[in-house]
Structure 1
Amino acid sequence: MTTQNLTDPDEITALMTGTATPSTADVSAGEPDEKPAIQIGGEAETIRALTTALGHGALPDVYVSGGQLVHLSRVSGKAASAAEHAHQVDAGALPVQADPITSPSLAWLLAHHAFVYRNKFNKATEQWEDVEASPTKAALSAVLSSRYWPDVRPLVGVVTSPVLRPDGTLLQTAGYDTTTGLYYAPTVTMPTIPAQPSTQEVSEALEFITSKLLRDFPFVADADKANHIGLMIAPILRPFLNGCLTPFGLISATTQSSGKTLLAEIPGHIYGLKHLVWRTSDENELQKSITSALHSTAAVMLWDNIAEGTEVSSALLAKLITGPKWDDRNLGSNSAGFETTNDRLWLATGNNIRLGGDMATRTALVRLDPNDPHPDQRDQTGFGIPHLDQWLKKPANRVTVLRHLLILVMDWINAGAPRSGHTMRQFTTWAGAAGGFLAHHGIDGFLDNVAEMREADDGNTTWTAFLARWHELHGDTPLRAKVLCHSAEPTETSGKLVDRWDGTFLTDERDRIPNSKSLGKLLTGHIGRWHGHYVLRSEFDKSANMNVFWVEINPESDQADHDQTPAAADQTALI
């Protein structure tokens, strides 16, 4: 058997010439004389030989991600992939997955794609022979312990649809893309998208998206439709925008059968969809759910049909949405290990969903209201696309949707990729680009429902009412927390107990007025934070040896002109 010793880097490079971008579709075990040969010996020699061979591409579809070697392979028979398989054009177009290489998986890869041997002396023939061998588990583990692989191609991620490169060109050739570090593994056959679409193509694409695909969804306002389109193009734009973060997409409807799930599944159909279970009551379970989902290559993560009236409030979710990276312990292990780029579009649907904590400023809101007692019985005869849910199940139709979106994106690029002036926390890059894209195509209303977003924020609504009443009762007079608690006690007037705060005073989890110590902590956490037109201020009172608090109102707001502070006779006594 003819072999080539791969302990020499120059020989490895020569052997691998012309195979810089192997495709998982072409991977095969091959005949023995086609396999690269790796000679091993003692433990130290084996570690050096394997490290050199891996670094120079002896094994196909091996990349480095976050300092860890990963193997890109197609996955068959996944228990949770029935929905994913339904999105394929061909039954053979299996999902592509990048898995960290372990000692057993490295042994498997070496056995199938390399001829690993030791040189042994045959006493019978009195000759040295090349005998196939398997490296020890200790040697394999030692090789994989390295975090530095300068000659291995970096894998940024796997995408299943075309995306925009940083230079404005479209990645639409299957396989590894050196420019971006992305691996494009299409699940549908996409036609080539022109770099410069014609005026007619752009006009047809805009007409299709706005007046056919989305026409019959009962959006409350233009902002809701614009926001959804802005979220839909996010997976395409992300590499162009240097991996920018996108906000949490909340599709909230007034009633069932409004089309919220279908609306969320449109980007899921064209980019790949993963359903998650809503478990924010248990942060540990939510963390496990997110980590598990991020092992999938699906670009869209969806919490569908959250219970009606649920308040979306989670510190872990807020961290996820605003963090470019996600890290967690390896599943089933106590050791830290799993880390990945947060490059997904996170969506949720539900009826009359509320927001809490910091989620309001991290969310793009899409509202639906059919204003119909029986929206599920609507006659779809005149719809732009009747029975859209069934229509989207056909691969050719999903290609049509994606093609039109890509044409609109390329037209925006050819116009210089103009940006708008929209700002949004850590999502300003996305907001400016999406706003510019929508304005370029004449789609109005983007992010115009900020006020409605704040109304959906239960925490902000509660604090706004509390501070407004505080200012009405006490003006900007500094008060101690104990005095403020005393003012919340009902007073007797004409034999009746009267609540001066009209039910707006803060309460604890048992719906009781907190004690002065607890109230002081609550107030301290909101110093300088605006709620509506009001902001809480504080300073340390040396004479009382404690903090005092007061409320200020924005002098430029309309509320300031109407907000009348009562001249309480006992105001001084309250201080």
Structure 2
Amino acid sequence: MVHGAGDTESAKAKAARELHERHMAKQADKAAKAALAEQRRQQIEAQRNQRTGSSRPDIQLGTDPESIRAITRAINSRTLPDTYVRAGSVVVVETPSGAIEDDDEPAQVVNIVDPTRLARLLADTTYTYSVEKERLPDGSVEFIDVESTPKQHLAAAALSSARWDGLPVLHGIVTTPLFRPDGTLVQEPGYDEATKVIYAPKLSIDPVPDQPTEEEIQDAKTFLTGKLLANFPWVGPSRANYIGVLVAPLIRHYLGGVLVPMVAIDAASPGTGKSLLALIMTKVFSGHIRPWVSDDVELRKAITSILVDNGGAVVCLDNVGKGETVDQPTLSALLTAAAWSDRLLGASTSVRVPNDRVWMVTGNSLSIGGDNASRTVPVKVDARMPNPDMRPSSEFALGDLEEWLTDPANRATLLRHLLVLVRGWIVAGAKRIEIPMRTFTPWASATAGFLDWLGESGFMTNRDTLHEADEEEAQYGAFYAQWYALFGDERLTAKQLHDSTLPPIGAPFEERDRWHGTFLVRKKDGQTPSAVGLGKMLASEVGRYRGGFRLNGFFNSNTKVWTYSVIKNGDEIPEDAR
């Protein structure tokens, strides 16, 4: 049957129509995708333009090596604000939010930049990105910048360098003015290139003139000795010693960052004023006070924590326990170290920080032992009365000194007087008087000159009292004296000495102990050492002077045996003595 042309669509026409419809659909889809692609391109361009107008610098990450180099360049060019290098480590200076207001701590802190902190600094202050391919709806490809955080191992690799020539060196943060090596005074807040410190004042101080007048100098002297320190019951030259360490934070950088010995503030009884003397320094110089730690391992942890986490120029380890001896090897190492290295608690990384503090210990009837005795400035007060803490504040020129120090205006007055005195000494020629003190000789000689200019005499003439109060020194001194009384300068082996403690057979009771309780004992249990143990104790003392005697050691290369003798100070030392 043949249908009319208008009756139905032929198969051929239908196929043609469907083909056309598919084509048009494809064109429409292509146009839609092209429109979407164009829209995305415009978004990408807008994002780039927005970044162009941003103040945040760009850091492009790439392959691992490229990323490490890019991060290193960014750090070294100081792209990250407030960053410095301290003892080989990158650090950032920050002001914590919600910090407890404390006169004894700087408001700013120095934090080591680890990988986590670096990620946060990069996110806060830069646009750190990686370039990625993005396939657009129309099938084309665009390279887009995707904000990224460097992987942990890349950040750690970049920070592993110890050389950062592009970063300013930071020694620390101080809250008081200080003197530069040329004798000028840092009085403007901020980073000081000459001293490598940030001056962040907490007190409002009137400017100190380059040439203090005689009247200003005399007023400062009168205030210091006639008011502030007038009513402390000083023993011997302790006042001179204390003034010397009181100005140490101000002159340390002037002397080139020299090491300063430990200050031992000793009192005959509680309430005499030792804690007040420590408080003066910690209040004026934003110091840190913490309880004494006797265990050597725990002391090391405490020292590391203080140097890493706390600012200020003074650290006081307060109230050494009665009967304890300050002889910790860790403290000995600290006092002669310009930089302190240790492993961070709870971390697998080590830290190295400047040892830029003045260290103090306080206690009643202090005993300073080991190598610490030769690394200490002794300051002692003794009221020579019962209950010295009951003295009324009216007996003191400034009244209640602890309360007086709480007023920032009072602390500013004291600080300015100290600055005037130091500047006056520098203008007068910065006299030195040589005081041999091993590592601390530069500081001691300059301080002796300052005190002489000030009119304070006797500086460090009482340092022998440290050895007298040293239990170990006293023990060895008594041992050598009885050794000499029994044997003269006869040479004896450790076994012969040990056997001499055994009572002679049949000897009367009063003659059984020839040593009268002076023979060496082990520190750990107070018992007499074995002959081998005694030999080890003597070997470590050969050539050392204690209590007016010298221990000589002699080694027989044929028998491989050591013998020992003691001689009085000043006696001729045998040629074969070690």
TM-score range, shorter chain: 0.7 to 0.9
What is the rounded CA distance, in whole Å, between the counterparts of 1:50 and 1:480 in structure 2?
Answer: 65
What is the rounded CA distance, in whole Å, between the counterparts of 2:175 and 2:47 in structure 1?
Answer: 39
Partner SS for 1:85:
coil
Q: Residue 120 of structure 2 aligns with which residue?
A: 108
What is the rounded CA distance, in whole Å, between the counterparts of 2:447 and 2:547 in structure 1?
Answer: 27
Match of 1:85 among 102, 126, 132: 102
Report the Cα offset of residue 301 of structure 1: 1.0
Match of 1:61 among 82, 95, 106: 82
What is the rounded CA distance, in whole Å, between the counterparts of 1:496 and 1:58 in structure 2?
Answer: 81
What is the rounded CA distance, in whole Å, between the counterparts of 2:421 and 2:235 in structure 1?
Answer: 24
Q: Residue 168 of structure 2 aligns with which residue?
A: 153
Q: Residue 300 of structure 1 aligns with which residue?
A: 314
Q: Residue 230 of structure 1 aligns with which residue?
A: 244
Structure-2 change in CA distance of 1:441 and 1:4 (3 Å): farther
What is the rounded CA distance, in whole Å, between the counterparts of 1:228 and 1:238 in structure 2?
Answer: 15
Q: Residue 34 of structure 1 aligns with which residue?
A: 55
- Alignment root-mean-square deviation, CA: 2.7
- Under a length normalisation based on structure 1, what TM-score does the superposition of the two structures give? 0.85
What is the rounded CA distance, in whole Å, between the counterparts of 1:5 and 1:243 in structure 2?
Answer: 48
What is the rounded CA distance, in whole Å, between the counterparts of 1:494 and 1:117 in structure 2?
Answer: 92
Structure-2 change in CA distance of 1:35 and 1:526 (3 Å): same
What is the rounded CA distance, in whole Å, between the counterparts of 1:4 and 1:37 in structure 2?
Answer: 13
Q: Decide whether the 8 Å contact of 1:115 with 1:132 is kept in 2.
A: no
Residue by residue over 1:385-440, the C-alpha shift from the partner in whole angstroms, topping out at 9 and shown as x without a partner, is: 11000110111111111111111111111112111121112111111111111011
What is the rounded CA distance, in whole Å, between the counterparts of 1:250 and 1:60 in structure 2?
Answer: 41
What is the rounded CA distance, in whole Å, between the counterparts of 1:277 and 1:192 in structure 2?
Answer: 36
Q: Which amino acid aligns with 1:247?
A: P
Partner SS for 1:203:
helix
Q: Decide whether the 8 Å contact of 1:5 with 1:38 is kept in 2.
A: no
Q: Residue 240 of structure 1 aligns with which residue?
A: 254
What is the rounded CA distance, in whole Å, between the counterparts of 1:377 and 1:310 in structure 2?
Answer: 27
Residue by residue over 1:165-190, the C-alpha shift from the partner in whole angstroms, topping out at 9 and shown as x without a partner, is: 11111122111112222111222223
Q: Residue 512 of structure 1 aligns with which residue?
A: 527
Q: Which amino acid aligns with 2:102?
A: H
Q: Decide whether the 8 Å contact of 2:266 with 2:379 is kept in 1.
A: yes
Partner SS for 2:395:
coil
Residue by residue over 1:57-80, the C-alpha shift from the partner in whole angstroms, topping out at 9 and shown as x without a partner, is: 2221011222221111112345xx
Residue by residue over 1:369-396, the C-alpha shift from the partner in whole angstroms, topping out at 9 and shown as x without a partner, is: 1111121111221311110001101111
Q: Which amino acid aligns with 2:305?
A: S
What is the rounded CA distance, in whole Å, between the counterparts of 1:485 and 1:118 in structure 2?
Answer: 76
Find out whether 1:534 has 2:555 as its counterpart. Answer: no
Find out whether 1:445 has 2:466 as its counterpart. Answer: no
Segments of 5+ residues of structure 1 without an aligned counterpart are 7-30, 89-93, 558-575
| Structure ID, larger Rg | 2
Residue by residue over 1:242-281, the C-alpha shift from the partner in whole angstroms, topping out at 9 and shown as x without a partner, is: 2211111111111111111110111111111212332223
Structure-2 change in CA distance of 1:139 and 1:198 (3 Å): same
Q: Decide whether the 8 Å contact of 2:478 with 2:518 is kept in 1.
A: yes
Q: Residue 185 of structure 1 aligns with which residue?
A: 200
Find out whether 1:482 has 2:492 as its counterpart. Answer: no
Q: Which amino acid aligns with 1:209?
A: L
Find out whether 1:255 has 2:273 as its counterpart. Answer: no
What is the rounded CA distance, in whole Å, between the counterparts of 1:385 and 1:445 in structure 2?
Answer: 26
Residue by residue over 1:15-58, the C-alpha shift from the partner in whole angstroms, topping out at 9 and shown as x without a partner, is: xxxxxxxxxxxxxxxx9723333344554444433333332222
Partner SS for 1:433:
helix
Residue by residue over 1:126-184, the C-alpha shift from the partner in whole angstroms, topping out at 9 and shown as x without a partner, is: 89687561233244333323333221222122222111111111122111112222111
What is the rounded CA distance, in whole Å, between the counterparts of 1:4 and 1:193 in structure 2?
Answer: 52
In the TM superposition, what are the counterparts of 1:265-284 in structure 2 within 5 Å?
A: 265-281=279-295, 283-284=296-297
The alignment of Structure 1 onto Structure 2 pairs a total of residues equal to: 521
Residue by residue over 1:475-513, the C-alpha shift from the partner in whole angstroms, topping out at 9 and shown as x without a partner, is: 112122222223333456556444222221112243333
Residue by residue over 1:204-233, the C-alpha shift from the partner in whole angstroms, topping out at 9 and shown as x without a partner, is: 111111111111111112x11111111111
